Structure 1
C-alpha cells in the first residue's frame, strides 16, 4: 500500500457505527503513519481522553512499525478478552476501546471513572473506626477491599445482569471460608434475576430477597469497608454493583442487624453494654405502644394503685379509646421522621424538633392525648433508631403496628400471640439456606485444608 493511500475501514467497525445509529458520541479514528495504520473505535462520553491519548494514540506515532505497536497493545494491562456481537457493543458503551491493526482486533478498558473518591460514612457513622465509606466506582471499592483484606484466597467474580443496561456486578468471597452451598445459591439467584432495570445495590437487594413481599430483609446493605472485610473473614459473600456506594452482604442472620462496627473497637464490657441497650431498645420500640393499649384498656389492675390513679388522671377528658390515641400519635411521629429525611439538612433538625414540641403541647392541651402517651411516643421514637441497620429498623417499625392491631382486637393475649407469631415467622425464615435466627455465624471459622 502506498503511503498516501487511504486504508479501508474494517467492516466490523462500520457495522458497529451503523448499529449505534450514527450516535454523535461514537468516534471512528484512523491512525496512519507512512505504511503503518490502525483504527480506533470508542464512545468519547465514557472513555478517558487523556489516557486514550497517552496509551494508544501517542505510542502509535512513536513506535517504528505496526508489529511493534501490536506487541505493545498486547502487553498492556488494560487489554481484555475480545468480545463479539452484542457483548462487544455492551463493552464499548462501558468505556472499552476497540483497536483494529490490519486483521487483528484488540479491546482495551480505558473507561472514564467519575465519583471515584471514597466518601465519608453517612448510613453507619463511627467514632473510632475508618471514616471513609465506599465510592460509586467499583474499581475504587475493589481496591479498598483488597487493601484491607490481604488474604490471597480472596476471590472476585464478575457477573453480568440481564437488565437492559447489562450492568456488571462483582461477587467477592474468601474461598477458604465460604460455604459452597451458599455461593451456589447466590449465583443461582443472580442468574434468575429478570428485571428491566437495576441501577443500585438497594434495588438489587430487593430482587435478591427470598420473596418480593418479605417484610424482614435477608441481606445487609452496608457502606463500610471494615464491615465488608469482617464478613468476608466470617465466610460471607459480598456483592458490589458499579455506580452504587453500598455493598450487599449475604447470607445474614437477625443478630447481624444488631451489631455495629463500633463494637469491634470498644472493650468487651462496653460492647456488651451497648449491645444490651440495643436489644432493650428493640423490645421497647416493638412492644411499648401495644403494651400501653393492653394495660390501659384491658388489664389496668397490674399497676400499683398510685400509678393507676396517675394514668387515669392523665387521661381525663381524652375522648377516644387508648388505641386511637396511640395510633394518632404514632402516625404523626412517622410524619415527623419522614419529613426529617426529605427536608434539606440545614432545616430538617430544627423543623422536626419544633414540630414535635408544638404537636405534643397542643395535643395534650386540647385533651386529644394524655401526658403519659407523650412519654410513650418519645421513648418509641428514640428507640426506633438504636438498630444499626436501617432496613431492620423499618421492619420493626411496621411490626409494632401489627402488634397494636392484635392487642386492640384481643387484648393482652393478642399482644402475646402476636409477638410469639413474629418470633415463629423469623424462626422459619432463611437467608440463602441459613436459618435467620441462627445464634452465630461461626465468627471463629477455620480455614479449609488446601
Structure 2
C-alpha cells in the first residue's frame, strides 16, 4: 500500500481534540513517548488494538532509533499506514483498531487492530462428504482472505460499505466484474446505500432488510457458510455480501434451483450427483403433497386407491376418534416442535432427546388410538423428506406451503390439492429475485445463466 500523509491546520492539537471526542470511554489511551528532545504522541482504544503490534512496530523502534527523522521515515514506510482525511474518518478508524501517531507536525494512522475471531469455523449447517470442511469466519478480513486465496481472478472486485447508524458495521460486496449482471449489482448497491437501520447484527437481518417482498415466504437470497459455494456463485455472475461479525455470506440473486443444489453435486461422479438431485426433488414432492394426499384420499376420494390398500388404510383408523385432518395436523405440529427442540437444545443431548421423544410419543399415540400406524409412517416420511432439502431457507418455506396445500386438500379433496399445487407453481413462475425469474434455470441454458446475463 502506498504511504500517504496529510497535514492539517492544527496538527499539534489533533490528538487532544480527538481524545476529547472519545471521552469518557475507559479504554482511551493518550500516550506520550519521550526520549531526550524527541516526543511522539499515540492515541488509540486499547480494547480493539493489538498491544503486541504497538510494542513491536512503534514503541521498540522509537527507543532504538536515535533520530526523529529516521523514526518518521520508518513509520511512513509501514504497510499498515492509512490516509488521513477528516477528523470523523480518523475517529471511525480508531474505533476499528487503528493507532494515531503524531510525530512533530506529521500524523499517521496505523491499522493495528486486534483480531480475536479469525479462526475459520467448520461447516455445521451445510456439511459436505467430499468438499472442504472449513467454512467462513466471523471476521470479515479472514473471509476476504479466504476468498482471495481461492479465487485468483483479477476481475474479482470488493467494495466496502458502512451500515447501521449505531454499530457502523462493515459490509463487503464481492462480484466478478466480467460476469456480473450490472442491473443486479446496481440494485443491491442502491439498497445498501439506502439502509437506515440503526443496528444490524446478522446476515439474516440484513437479508430481511434488503428484501422488498416483505410478505413472500420463498427465499430470494441465499445465506451460506461455505466458501466454495461463495466462490462458485461469484464465478457464475452472482453478487455476494459479507457482513463483519457473522460467519455467513448472502448470495443474490438466488433462484429456486439454487436452493435445491448441494455442493457435493460438483464433487461426486456425474451419475451419483444426478441421482441425488432426483432424490431431492422426490423428497420435495413427498414433503409438499403427501399429507394433503392422505387427507384427501381418506376423507373425499378413497376410490383412487386399490381396494386392498383402501381397506388397509380404513382398518388402521378404526378406533381413532378424530378426522384425518386433525390426525395429520397433530402429528405434523408435533414434528415441528421436535425439530425446533433439536435446534434449541445443546448438541450433546438434542439428537437423543428428540429421537426418544418421537419414539415415545408415536408409540403412545398409536396404542391410545389417537392416531393410526399409517399416519405415523406418513409423518415420518415427510420429516425425512424435509431434511433432504439442502438449504434451510427453502426447507422452512416448503414446510409453510405444506400446510396451505393440506388445507385445500382437506376442504376440496384431490381437486383442491391439485389446483392449489398449480397455483403454487404459478406463484413461483411470477416471482423474481432482483429481476431474475425464480424458475429461470428450468427454461434457460446453464451456460447463459453462468454468465449472469439477464433475460
TM-score tier (shorter): over 0.9
Q: How far is the alpha carbon of 1:33 from its aligned partner?
A: 2.4
Q: Please tell me whether the aligned partners of residues 28 and 45 of structure 2 are also in contact (alpha carbons under 8 angstroms).
A: yes
1:184 to 173, 183, 186: 186
Please state if 1:313 is matched with 2:324.
no
Partner residue of 1:350 out of 334, 349, 352:
352
Alpha-carbon distance between aligned partners in 2 of 1:55 and 1:428, rounded to the nearest angstrom = 58
Aligned equivalent of 2:338: 336
Asked whether the 8 Å contact 2:236–2:451 carries over to 1, the reply is: no
Partners of 1:213 and 1:66 lie apart in 2 by: 63
The answer to whether the 8 Å contact 1:234/1:442 transfers is no
Q: CA deviation at 1:442?
A: 4.3
SS of 1:252's partner is coil
Q: What residue is the counterpart of 1:123 in the other structure?
A: 125
Separation in structure 1 between the aligned mates of residue 91 and residue 421 of structure 2, nearest angstrom:
54
Q: Which runs of 5+ in 1 are unaligned?
A: 1-7
Classify the secondary structure of the residue corresponding to 2:279: helix
Select the residue among 216, 219, 222 that pairs with 2:221. Answer: 219
Q: Distance in 2 between matches of 1:376 and 1:197?
A: 44
- Return the alpha-carbon distance in structure 2 between the equivalents of residues 413 and 231 of structure 1: 40
* Contact kept? 1:317, 1:367, Cα under 8 Å: yes
The superposition leaves residues 294-324 of structure 1 with CA deviations (integer Å, 9 ceiling, x where unpaired) of: 1111111000000000001111111111111
Deviation, structure 1 residue 62: 2.5
Q: How does 1:356-395 map to 2 (within 5 A)?
A: 356-395=358-397
Question: How does 1:292-303 map onto structure 2 within 5 Å?
Answer: 292-303=294-305
Matches within 5 A, 1:420-435: 420-435=422-437
Matched, 1:264 2:304: no
Equivalence for 2:4: none
Please give the root-mean-square deviation of Cα atoms over the aligned residues, in Å: 1.8
Residue equivalent to 2:420: 418
Distance 2:446 2:85 in 1: 42
CA apart distance, 1:282: 0.6
Q: Distance in 2 between matches of 1:424 and 1:89?
A: 52
What TM-score, normalized by structure 1, do the two folds share? 0.94
Match status 1:138 vs 2:140: yes
Q: Name the residue aligned to 1:31.
A: 33
Match in the other structure for 1:287: 289
Q: Where does residue 326 of structure 1 map in the other structure?
A: 328
- In structure 2, the gaps of 5 or more residues are 1-9
Q: Is the 8 A contact 1:210 1:431 kept in 2?
A: no
Aligned to 1:4: none
User: Retained in 2: the 8 A contact 1:210–1:218?
Assistant: no
Residue 401 of structure 2 corresponds to which residue in structure 1?
399
Change beyond 3 A, Cα 1:66–1:442: farther
